[in-house]
Amino acid sequence: MTGGNRGFGAELCRLLLERGAAKVYAGARDVRSISQEGVVGVQLDVTSASDIASAAEHCRDVTLLVNNAGISTDTSILADGVVDAARRDFETNVFGPMAMNQAFAPTLATNGGGAIINVLSVLSWFGQPDLAVYGASKAAGWSLTNSLRQVLLAQHTQVLGLYVAYMDTDMTAGIDSPKSDPGEIAALTLDGLEAGAHEVVADDISRHVRSALSGDLDALYPVLGQ
Ligand SMILES: NC(=O)c1ccc[n+]([C@@H]2O[C@H](COP(=O)([O-])OP(=O)(O)OC[C@H]3O[C@@H](n4cnc5c(N)ncnc54)[C@H](OP(=O)(O)O)[C@@H]3O)[C@@H](O)[C@H]2O)c1
C-alpha cells in the first residue's frame, strides 16, 4: 500500500487486515507516521527510485499492490507556476505508480498473478478548472490503468481502477461539499476486488460523470450551453 500511513490508504490497510490478509505492508514517506497496529511499515516515497527498488526487494511476498499515494497541488490550468505544479502532481500520481507497477509486476507474477488497485478519481473523467492539474494526472492514471490491465492479463494479474468523488480525508479538509466515508469506499473497493472487477465506480457522482461521457458535452458542462 503506498501512502498507507493515513487517509484512504490507512482505511484500506485496516480493512485488509480485518478481512484476513496475512500481512499488510504500509508504505510511507516517513515510517514513524504509521500508527496502525498489525501493519508492516516500509519506507516508500513513490518519487524515489531507490525507495521503490528497496521496497520491491524487501516485499517479495506481495500479492496485492495498491497505488494509493497521491497529492493535489490544487492548481488551475492558467495559474502561475502551473507547469512546475503539474510536474509535482504527475511525479506522485502518475510516474510513481508507473514505477511501482514496473517494480512489482514480476513479484505478482511469481506469486500467482495477484492484483493491482489504482486509486483514481471522478476527475479522471471530468475537467474541474481549479483542480485541472490534479485531474489531468488522474486522467493519465485512467489511461495507464487500462493499458496495464491488458498487458498483465497474460500473468493473471487483476488490475482494478477505483473512481471516486470526494472522500473525507486530509486531502479535502478545506472543501465544503458532501464527502464519502473513506472506510465505506474501501469496503466497496475490496468487494470489487473479490468479485474480479476491472473497475469500482464508487458513488453516484462518479457513475453520473462516467455515463455522461458518451453524451453531449453541454450536459456534462452546463456552463458551455449558457
Ligand atoms: N480524498 C478524496 O476526495 C479523493 C478523491 C478521489 C481520489 N483520491 C485519491 O485517493 C488517494 C489517497 O488520498 P487521500 O484522500 O487519502 O489523501 P491524504 O489524506 O492527503 O493522503 C495522501 C497519502 O499519500 C501519501 N503520499 C503523498 N505523496 C507521497 C509520496 N511521494 N510517496 C508516498 N506517499 C505519498 C501521503 O503521505 P504523507 O503522510 O507522507 O503526506 C498520504 O499517506 C490519492 O491518490 C487521491 O488522489 C482522493
**Ligand 1 neighbour 13 (Cβ under 6 A):** no
Q: Which CATH superfamily is domain 7-225 in?
A: NAD(P)-binding Rossmann-like Domain (3.40.50.720)
Distance 140 CA to ligand 1 centre (A): 17
> Whose Cα sits closest to atom 3 in ligand 1?
166
The share of the chain scoring above pLDDT 90, in percent, equals: 99
Q: At what angle do helices 82-90 and 132-151 cross, to 10 degrees?
A: 30
**Ligand 1 neighbour 70 (Cβ under 6 A):** yes
**Ligand 1 neighbour 136 (Cβ under 6 A):** no
pLDDT at 218: 93
Residue-wise pLDDT for 116-147, tens only, equals 999 999 999 999 999 999 999 999 999 999 99
Instruction: Please state, as a whole number, how many other Cβ atoms lie within 10 Å of the Cβ of residue 74.
Output: 16
Distance 69 CA to ligand 1 centre (A): 4
Distance 61 CA to ligand 1 centre (A): 24
Distance 10 CA to ligand 1 centre (A): 10
Q: Which of 65, 160, 169, 181 to mutate to test the pocket of ligand 1 (most atoms within 8 A of CB)?
A: 169
**Ligand 1 neighbour 48 (Cβ under 6 A):** no
Nine-digit cell string for 7: 487517509
Q: Indicate the burial class of 108 (C-beta count within 10 angstroms; 0-12, 13-18, 19 or more).
A: buried
Give helix then strand counts, H and E, for the chain. 8, 6
Angstrom distance (rounded) from CA 36 to CA 32: 11
Residue-wise pLDDT for 58-108, tens only, equals 999 999 999 999 999 999 999 999 999 999 999 999 999 999 999 999 999
Nine-digit cell string for 53: 527498488
* Helix locations, the chain, DSSP H: 7-18, 49-58, 82-90, 96-110, 132-151, 182-194, 204-212, 217-220
pLDDT at 43: 98
Per-residue pLDDT band for 220 (boundaries 50, 70, 90) equals very high
Please check whether residue 163 is in contact with residue 121, taking contact to mean a CB–CB distance below 8 angstroms.
yes
Backbone angles phi, psi at 141, to 5 degrees: -60, -40
Whether the pLDDT of residue 226 is over 90: the answer is no
Angstrom distance (rounded) from CA 169 to CA 116: 22
Angstrom distance (rounded) from CA 41 to CA 76: 35
**Ligand 1 neighbour 210 (Cβ under 6 A):** no
State the residue for C-alpha cell 453516484.
Answer: 204
**Ligand 1 neighbour 171 (Cβ under 6 A):** yes
Distance 86 CA to ligand 1 centre (A): 16
Q: Which of 66, 71, 206 to mutate to test the pocket of ligand 1 (most atoms within 8 A of CB)?
A: 71
Please check whether residue 46 is in contact with residue 97, taking contact to mean a CB–CB distance below 8 angstroms.
yes
For residue 147, the number of C-alpha atoms closer than 13 Å in the C-beta half-sphere is: 9
State the residue for C-alpha cell 458532501.
Answer: 178
